[in-house]
Amino acid sequence: MTEKGKKIKQTKDKEELEFKPKHIAELNNKLQTDANKYGQKYIDFLNNCKTERETVKYIQEMAVKTGYKKFDKNTNYKPGDKVYLNIKDKSIILSTIGDSKMKNGVCIVASHVDSPRIDLKTRPLYSDSELAMFKTHYYGGIKKHHWITIPLALHGIIVDKREKVIDVKIGETEDDTTFCITDLLPHLERMQDRDRMWGEVIAGEQLNVIAGSMPFKDKNENGDSKFNILKILNEKYNITEEDLICADLSLVPAFDAKNIGLDRSLIGGYGQDDKVCVYASLIAELQTKNNQQTTVSVFTDREEIGSDGNTGLASDMLKNYLNMLCKADINRYLECIENSICLSADVKAAFDPTWAHAYERNNCGYLNHGVCISRYTGGGGKAGTSEARAEFTRRIVNTLNKNEVAWQTSSNKVDQGGGGTVARFIANLGIEVIDIGVPILSMHSPYEIVSKLDAYMMFKAISAFLETNEI
């Protein structure tokens, strides 16, 4: 009984009663062709964008090619204008100005350009027992043992004494050299070593990287292998050890992203958390035209360590940008915040049958079943997260349904663990926000796996959100 005296209308069949996301391949054959094409371009993007700086550079270049102009707070923009704001080469925001006024709100999509990796320490280089090594400090939540005995590439920048920025990328071409963290052979593992927990397989301080093994040699002198590495770096980049302190250098997996499976339906590659959403957001933003609300596509750094820092979303960077778009008129800014909506675009753990115990099957995401909606993330009793209101959830669900976007839900098993996204920082500004993302296997490992159909669906979801929202 709904209202007094009225009976619930008899529903036609069982399917209409139940919410049951299907394998996308069952929905539409054309999707497969489009998803394959999209997937190939995405693989190329992944192989060019392993660090946040490389990703920001790529996004800016694509934006400029598409007609985006550097944002100027004193310009009066008109509908259809496209602008970008580069934040210290580590975050970037793209906008397409809409027909509607700023006070009516903007459509924000936030994804993150940083991924877990192994950073060099501030003073990295040393030698031990004739080997030259780098000390490291891991960045983001990693299972440390994933990062040993695999080829690593060195990416980043060094700023020399004349403040010239030197780009570093070693280990990405066929004949280039690579780096590696070693492990103990199984023969030498005592029983107590074998029984250690996975978090104790290798300690953070043991993530030391082999940098070389040859002694320093010149006419008069033989010396330590550390000096040989300094000599090589000096010849290659004209730098000394002090310059390594003024550097952002990271080790990332040296291998490329590739197809996975005999049916080539999946993509394996490093950094897909969150590049799969970054790419979807970028392509959707670049293609946006005739949009009602102004778009704000945020590609942020620092998510993997909690968003702190001047290029992370816990800072005021988004607030400042919206303020500038509102021409610093506080009243308009407040109205804008009130009416703005946001998709926090980030990957979700996909159900893995090998580790079924860690998932709650009713509420987790599955490969090939479309984008995952998460009304909240966090852990424990919904701590460390915002939560999308029922009203806003309905609005996004309707947008997805109307635009034939395949979607499902995702939330973690209670008390199994958890993690946050940038959603809470945007929600804390007062903006309506919901998490949405691509289901992914082996998240935070050097070789994460997504499905091409889901990746393509993410692009369709963001396009629908940016172009068809009625506020």
- In this complex, which beta carbon is closest to Mn ion, that of residue 246 or of residue 358? 358
Q: At its nearest, how many Å lie between Mn ion and the CB of residue 458?
A: 13
Question: Minimum distance from CB of 270 to Mn ion (Å)?
Answer: 12
One DSSP character per residue, 403-457 reads TT--EEE--PPTTS--B--THHHHHTTT-EEEEEE-EEBSTTSSSEEEEHHHHHH
Residues 46, 270: Cα–Cα separation, whole Å: 8
Under rule CB under 5 A, residue 448 binds Mn ion: no
Which candidate, 152, 183, 175, places its Cα nearest to that of 251?
Answer: 152
For the bound state, the minimum distance from the C-beta of residue 374 to Mn ion, rounded and expressed in Å, comes to 12
Least CB distance to Mn ion at residue 346 (A):
4
Give the residue among 271, 415, 266, 407 at the shortest CA–CA distance from 343. 407
Distances (CA, A) of 445 to 115, 117, 140, 252, 273: 10, 9, 11, 11, 10
Q: How far is the CB of 273 from Mn ion (least distance, A)?
A: 4
CB of 95 to Mn ion, least distance (A): 23
Query: What distance in Å separates the CA atoms of residue 131 and residue 451, rounded to the nearest whole number?
Result: 42
Contact 451, 261 (CB under 8 A): no
Site residue total, Mn ion (CB under 5 A)? 3
DSSP state, residue 344: E
Decide whether 277 or 400 has the Cβ nearer to Mn ion.
Answer: 277
Q: Which stretch binds Mn ion (CB under 5 A): 12-20, 257-265, 272-280, 376-384?
A: 272-280
Q: Give the DSSP per-residue string, 304-340.
A: GGTS-STTSTTSSHHHHHHHHHTTT-HHHHHHHHHH-
At its nearest, how many Å lie between Mn ion and the CB of residue 444? 6
The stretch among 229-237, 256-264, 268-276, 457-465 that binds Mn ion (CB under 5 A) is 268-276
Query: Judged by CB under 5 A, which stretch of 200-208, 228-236, 271-279, 369-377 contacts Mn ion?
Result: 271-279
Beta bridge partners of 139: 117
Residues 220-249, interacting with Mn ion (CB under 5 A): none
Residues 185-214 that bind Mn ion (CB under 5 A): none
Could you tell me if 94 and 81 are in contact, meaning their C-beta atoms sit under 8 angstroms apart? no
Binding residues for Mn ion restricted to 274-293, rule: CB under 5 A: 274
Residue nearer to Mn ion on the CB measure, 132 or 422: 422
Residue closer to Mn ion (CB basis): 285 or 435: 435
Closest distance to Mn ion from the beta carbon of 345 (Å): 9
Q: Looking at residues 338 to 377 of the shown chain, list those that interact with Mn ion (rule: CB under 5 A).
A: 346
Closest CA to 253 of 4, 465, 448: 448
DSSP for 188-251, written as a single string: G--HHHHT--GGGSS-GGG--EEEE-PPEE-SS-EE-HHHHHHHHHHHHHS--HHHHHSEEEEE
Site string for Mn ion, 105-144 (x = CB under 5 A): ----------------------------------------
Q: Please identify, using beta-carbon distances, which residue of 377 and 409 lies nearer to Mn ion.
A: 377
What tokens were used for 398? 């309707």
Residue 119 vs 273, nearer CB to Mn ion: 273
Q: Which one of the spans 123-131, 273-281, 291-299, 400-408 is the region binding Mn ion (CB under 5 A)?
A: 273-281
One residue of 248, 273, 301, 467 binding Mn ion per CB under 5 A: 273
Which two structure tokens, joined as six digits, stand for 221? Answer: 């002198």
In 22-162 the beta strands, taken as DSSP E runs, fall at: 69-70, 82-87, 91-96, 106-112, 117-128, 131-139, 152-159
Between residues 271 and 370, which has the closer beta carbon with respect to Mn ion? 271
Least separation in angstroms between residue 451's CB and Mn ion is 17
Alpha-carbon span 335 to 29, nearest angstrom: 44
CB of 111: closest distance to Mn ion in angstroms?
Answer: 8
Whether the Cβ atoms of residue 459 and residue 368 lie closer than 8 Å to each other:
no
Separation CA 373–CA 439 (nearest Å) = 10
CB closer to Mn ion out of 168 and 284: 284
Least Cβ distance, residue 278 to Mn ion (angstroms): 10
Query: Which is nearer to Mn ion, 83 or 345 (by Cβ)?
Result: 345
Which of 346/454 has CB closer to Mn ion? 346
**Nearest-angstrom CA–CA distance, 250 and 177:** 15
If the CB atoms of residues 273 and 301 are measured against Mn ion, the closer one turns out to be 273
Alpha carbon distances (Å) from 49 to 46, 162, 169, 368, 455: 5, 27, 11, 24, 17
Instruction: Choose one: 28-36, 260-268, 270-278, 283-291; the region binding Mn ion (CB under 5 A).
Output: 270-278
Stretch that binds Mn ion, among 48-56, 96-104, 267-275, 374-382 (CB under 5 A): 267-275
Q: Catalog residues that contact Mn ion under the rule CB under 5 A.
A: 273-274, 346
